[in-house]
A and B are shown apart, each in its own frame.
Chain A
Amino acid sequence: MSKELQNPKITPESQHVSLTPYVVGFVLSLVFTFIPYQLVVNEILTGNMLLAAIIGCAMIQLVIQVVFFLHLGREKKPRFNLVFLLGTIGIILVVVLGSIWIMNHLHHNMSATDVTDKVASDEAVRQIDGARVGTCAGVGTNHKIELKNDSVTPLRVEAKQCDTITFSNKGDATREIRFGTQADPETYAGESGETIRARRNKIFTLTELGTHAFYDPINNTVSGYFTVKR
C-alpha cells in the first residue's frame, strides 16, 4: 500500500503555483484563438498577410500555454526542459520547412511537361525541332537588344543555338516582352515572356531553333524577331 497522506498539503508551499497563471493563460489563449478565427472568417486580411497573422497567433499561443500552463520558466538551473523544448522546435522547423522546400523543388522539376519545359529552358537544355538533345555546352555569343523610347534596336537578331539574347530596358517604364505576335502569341523554350523593370536586363538562352517574334503587348511599336540557327 502506498504512503498515506499525513499532511493535507502534499507539495511543499515553496513549489506551489497560484491560480493566477492559469487564469491569465486561459484568457490570453481565448484571445489568440478568437483573433485568427475572426481574421479568417471575416476576411479582414488575405493571402500571405493572413497566413503570417494566423501562424503568428499560433506561435504566440504556444508561448502562452508553455509559460502559463506548463510553467516552463520556473525550473531551477540547469534548464534542461527549456533546452530540449527549444531544440525540438528547431528540429520541427527543419523537418517541416525542409520537407516543404525539398518537395516543392521536386514538384517543380519532376512534374508534367509544361512545367518541366520551363525548367529545361532555365537550365539551357538544347532543343531541335522540339526534341530535347542535351544542354548547351558553355556560353555562346551574347546579343543585346535595347528597348528605349518605344523603339527596339536592333530589330532583328541572327544567332546560333546556345547564344544568349539580353533584353535591356533602357527606358524609365517597366516593359513586358512576349513571344510570338499580338495576334498569335507563342511560347519559346517554355516561356511565354517576361516583365523587365526599368533599367534592368533579362537574359534568354536560345535553345530552340527557328525564327521567333517578340512584342510588347501594351505598346505596338515595340516588336522584333530573332532567328536561331544551328
Chain B
Amino acid sequence: MVNEHIAESHEEAAMDRVGFGFWVYLMTDLLMFAVLFAVFAVLRDATHGGPSGQELFKLPFVLTETLILLTSSFTAGIGMLAAHRGIKSQVLTWFGLTFCLGLAFLGMELYEFAEFIHEGHTWQSNASLSSFFTLVGTHGLHITSGLLWMGTALVFIWKRGLNAPLVRKLTLLSLFWHFLDIVWIFIFTVVYLMAFV
C-alpha cells in the first residue's frame, strides 16, 4: 500500500494533536496513581501486627534501583536527541541501553517482591502489604509495558530504519518513560524513605 504524500503542516498538526492527547492520557495515569498513593497513605500502618516498612525495606537496594531508573531516563533523553537528528545507530545504542537499565530495574523489583513473599509477607497478609504491592507493582507493570513498547520499536527501527512516523512514536515512548521515572520519585520518597521517618 503506497501512502499518499501528506503536506508537512498537516503532519505537524497531527503530531501536535497526538502529542497533546498522549499528554492528557499521562495525566489520567497520574491520577490513577494518585488513588494508589492515597490508599497507601491511609493503609500504610494497617499491618495488623505484621512488620512495618521500616523492618522490611533495604534502603541501599532501593537507592540502587532509583539510580538505575533515573539513568535510564537520561539515556532515553539522549536517544531522543539522536532520533531527532536521524542517526539510527545512536538511537539503537541509547535506547538499547535504556532497555537494559529498565530490565535491570524490573529484575531488582521482582527480586525484592520474591524475597518478601518467600519470607511470608504477601499481598494477602494485611492491608499495608496489599497497598505496597499494588502501588509498586502497578508501577512495575507500567515499566513492563514500556519495555515491551521499546523492544518492538527498536526491532522496527533496526529492520526498517528511522523515519518521521517512527521518531514521533519514539517521542511518545520517551514521554512515557520520563513520566514513569517521575512517579518513581514519589514511590521512593513516600513508600520507602517515609517508612524510616
The reply to whether the CB of A57 lies closer than 8 angstroms to some CB of chain B is yes
What chain A residues lie within 8 Å of B189 (beta carbons)? Answer: 36, 54-55, 57-58
| Closest residue on chain A to residue B167 by CB atoms | A10
What chain B residues lie within 8 Å of A55 (beta carbons)? Answer: 189
Question: B41 and A40: CB pair below 8 A?
Answer: no
The reply to whether the CB of A5 lies closer than 8 angstroms to some CB of chain B is yes
The reply to whether the CB of A1 lies closer than 8 angstroms to some CB of chain B is yes
Question: B63 and A54: CB pair below 8 A?
Answer: no
What chain B residues lie within 8 Å of A100 (beta carbons)? Answer: 38, 41-42
Cα distance, A51 to B195, chains bound together (Å): 10
Question: A61 and B85: CB pair below 8 A?
Answer: no
Q: Which candidate, B108-116, B125-133, B144-152, B179-187, is the interface stretch facing chain A? A: B179-187
What chain A residues lie within 8 Å of B84 (beta carbons)? Answer: 9-11, 15-17
Q: Which of B32-65 contact A (CB under 8 A)?
A: 34-35, 37-39, 41-42, 59, 63
Interface string of A16-45 (1 = CB under 8 A from B): 111100100110011001001100110000
Please report whether the interface of chain A is mostly helix, strand, loop or mixed according to DSSP: helix
Which among A4, A84, A96 has the highest number of chain B CB atoms within 10 Å? A96
Question: A33 and B163: CB pair below 8 A?
Answer: no
Question: A69 and B59: CB pair below 8 A?
Answer: no
The reply to whether the CB of B162 lies closer than 8 angstroms to some CB of chain A is yes
| Closest residue on chain A to residue B6 by CB atoms | A3
Closest CB of chain B to A101's CB: distance in Å?
A: 11
What chain A residues lie within 8 Å of B122 (beta carbons)? Answer: none
Residue from A7, A37, A84 in contact with B63 in the complex, judged by beta carbons closer than 8 Å: A37
The reply to whether the CB of A88 lies closer than 8 angstroms to some CB of chain B is yes
Question: A80 and B38: CB pair below 8 A?
Answer: no
Cα distance, A10 to B190, chains bound together (Å): 41
Query: Which residues of B come within 8 Å of A, CB atoms?
Result: 1-3, 20, 23-24, 27, 30-31, 34-35, 37-39, 41-42, 59, 63, 66-67, 70-71, 73-74, 77-78, 80-81, 83-87, 160-167, 175, 178-179, 181-182, 185-186, 188-190, 193-194, 196-197
Query: Which residues of A come within 8 Å of B, CB atoms?
Result: 1-5, 7-11, 15-19, 22, 25-26, 29-30, 33, 36-37, 40-41, 46-47, 50-51, 54-55, 57-58, 61-62, 65-66, 69-70, 80-81, 84-85, 87-88, 91-92, 95-96, 99-100, 103
Since A26-B71, A81-B20 are in contact, a sample of 12 more A-B pairs with Cβ atoms closer than 8 Å, ordered by chain A residue number, is: A1-B2, A3-B164, A10-B167, A22-B81, A37-B59, A51-B197, A54-B194, A69-B181, A84-B24, A85-B27, A88-B27, A91-B34
